[in-house]
Structure 1
Amino acid sequence: MTHLFLTTVAHTRTSPVRHSFEHRSCSWLIDLADVDERGRSRGLPVGLRAVVRFRSRDHLGDPRCGWLDNVARFAATHGVQLGGGSVVALTNGRTLGHVFNPITLYWCHDAEGQLACVIAEVHNTYGQRHAYLLEPDARGVADAEKAFYVSPFNDVSGRYRMSVPPPTDRLDVTVVLHRDGERPFVATWRGEQVAGGLDLVRAIMRLPLANWLVSARIRWHGIKLWRRLPVQPRPSHRQELV
């Protein structure tokens, strides 16, 4: 099972200055069991398998191990046993030798097919990553203490509220940072599954540059904020390697 989504990502910063942006991109929803040791997804059309890769070393865990194994091991270290259940990830694929995933979401199921947890894996532009294990309620909402330096203009204080309902033919994810009774940062990740035809052609044409554009846009907005906000010290961070 591999599906391509045309997405819109929006960020809104409300404090101490207001700044917002929105851009279009592409994301893949893939079953990790379909990804082989070379990062090729069997759910992709043959012509795309050589262009789009999903490599374990681009994500959490030991780069020498399989991606699915790493996710299951991470869940187990947090007390969630998947028992061989399926894991579906929403992520960007590596194209033209580059990938950047500000966030990858994993919907992890147990052996009976029930949702056991959601893992939110966050990457920053310093080459670091951190994963949050979430146990959403019936609405798909979960809270997590912020523990990772993402923006140079935001420290690691506060608490996230994430709305992460499993995607269907539509995607609707929201991440809100709560701090001191305020909501200084809100991000949304929304989109629709590409069914085929002309929309699929347009999406595939957009794929080769999608990762480069994400990286460039983040840095461009960082430059604009650098003129207006003080840079917060970046604490040391230990990567998850389980």
Structure 2
Amino acid sequence: MPAIVPGHVSHTRRVPKRHRFRYRTYQWLVDIDALPDRGALASFQGRDHLGDPSLPLRDNVAAFVRAAGERLEPQDRVLMLANARSLGYVFNPLTVFWCLTPAAELRWAVLEVHNTYGGRHTYLARPGRSSLRKEFYVSPFFTVHGEYDVTLSLDHDRISVAIDLRQHQTRVFSAAFTGRPTPVRRTTMLAAALVPYQVATLIRLHGIWLWLRRLPVVREGLR
């Protein structure tokens, strides 16, 4: 730690119109007790994540999981998979906090979701496969209901996050990230610095494309 994780993100929308894309990306994997600071190209700040921005990130993670009925033990290690703030900007559609026991076993994971309207919501996931009730407005083309099926995997040589959205017992949307942790090098750090801009741009371009295809917009989350 820290590491940069080159990988691929894929999204598949199944109804009412099919739409799929896949692109290469780079994320950081960092220990929240030793957050790296690479100046303008990469920094991690409390205001970009859950909880009180004036407190250490570990304290905020611990407070969230305690409210959800779990504990962060003093000897546990918490790794964060996220984009860094780059050139004053950051956008993380999904940040994953992985809690590892001293034996490197996954105790739980926290999924922090951001939308493009400035909102955020946090879920607690168990090891392996979890089912979580959808509680947050993310896409303007989906209502705030249904369940997420979440599958997480964190190994030395592979990281994967897979999320399926089910509505009315039908799988309507899938998103996945798969990558391999690598040492931080200048080339990969420069590539990772562009990712927040890439992600924000692609989200809007795909949204415009779906709107042009007359996909109905759901505004319930903006009330």
TM more than 0.5: yes
* Structure-2 residue corresponding to 1:31: 31
Q: Residues 117-136 of structure 1: matches in 2 within 5 Å?
A: 117-136=108-127
Gaps of 5+ in 1: 36-40, 238-242
Superposition deviation, residue 113 in structure 1: 5.8
- Distance, in Å, in 2 between the alignment partners of 1:236 and 1:223 is 18
* Structure-2 residue corresponding to 1:213: 198
- Distance, in Å, in 1 between the alignment partners of 2:153 and 2:178 is 11
Superposition deviation, residue 49 in structure 1: 4.5
Q: How many residues align?
A: 221
In structure 1, give the amino acid aligned to 2:66: A
* Structure-1 residue corresponding to 2:43: 53
User: Counterpart of 2:30 in 1: which secondary structure?
Assistant: strand
Instruction: Confirm or deny: 8 A CA contact 1:82 1:110 kept in the other structure.
Output: no
Superposition deviation, residue 234 in structure 1: 3.1
User: Counterpart of 2:143 in 1: which secondary structure?
Assistant: coil
* Structure-2 residue corresponding to 1:164: 152
**RMSD value, Cα:** 1.9
Identity, % of aligned pairs? 39
- Distance, in Å, in 2 between the alignment partners of 1:68 and 1:236 is 31
C-alpha distance 144-171 of structure 1, shift in aligned 2 (>3 A): same
In structure 2, give the amino acid aligned to 1:30: V
C-alpha distance 131-34 of structure 1, shift in aligned 2 (>3 A): same
* Structure-1 residue corresponding to 2:83: 92
What are the superposed Cα offsets for residues 164-201 of structure 1, whole Å, 9 maximum, x if unpaired? 112422122110011222111000101122247xxx44
Answering whether residue 217 of structure 2 is matched by residue 231 of structure 1, we say yes
Gaps of 5+ in 2: none
Answering whether residue 90 of structure 2 is matched by residue 104 of structure 1, we say no
- Distance, in Å, in 2 between the alignment partners of 1:165 and 1:129 is 23
- Distance, in Å, in 1 between the alignment partners of 2:121 and 2:194 is 25
- Which stretches of structure 1, 4 residues or longer, exceed 4 Å deviation after superposition? 110-114
* Structure-2 residue corresponding to 1:185: 173
Superposition deviation, residue 6 in structure 1: 0.6
What are the superposed Cα offsets for residues 114-170 of structure 1, whole Å, 9 maximum, x if unpaired? 53311111000000000001122xxx2111011110000001111000111124221
Superposition deviation, residue 89 in structure 1: 0.8
User: Counterpart of 2:41 in 1: which secondary structure?
Assistant: coil
Instruction: Confirm or deny: 8 A CA contact 2:40 2:87 kept in the other structure.
Output: no
What are the superposed Cα offsets for residues 38-78 of structure 1, whole Å, 9 maximum, x if unpaired? xxx1xx7xxx3552101111011111211111011111111
Instruction: Give the TM-score, by structure 2 length.
Output: 0.92
C-alpha distance 50-98 of structure 1, shift in aligned 2 (>3 A): closer
* Structure-2 residue corresponding to 1:66: 56
In structure 2, give the amino acid aligned to 1:219: R
- Distance, in Å, in 1 between the alignment partners of 2:153 and 2:180 is 14
- Distance, in Å, in 2 between the alignment partners of 1:231 and 1:144 is 24
Instruction: Give the TM-score, by structure 1 length.
Output: 0.85
C-alpha distance 113-191 of structure 1, shift in aligned 2 (>3 A): closer
In structure 2, give the amino acid aligned to 1:122: V
What are the superposed Cα offsets for residues 184-242 of structure 1, whole Å, 9 maximum, x if unpaired? 1000101122247xxx44322313321111100000000011122111123369xxxxx
Instruction: Confirm or deny: 8 A CA contact 1:124 1:149 kept in the other structure.
Output: yes
Instruction: Confirm or deny: 8 A CA contact 1:89 1:107 kept in the other structure.
Output: yes
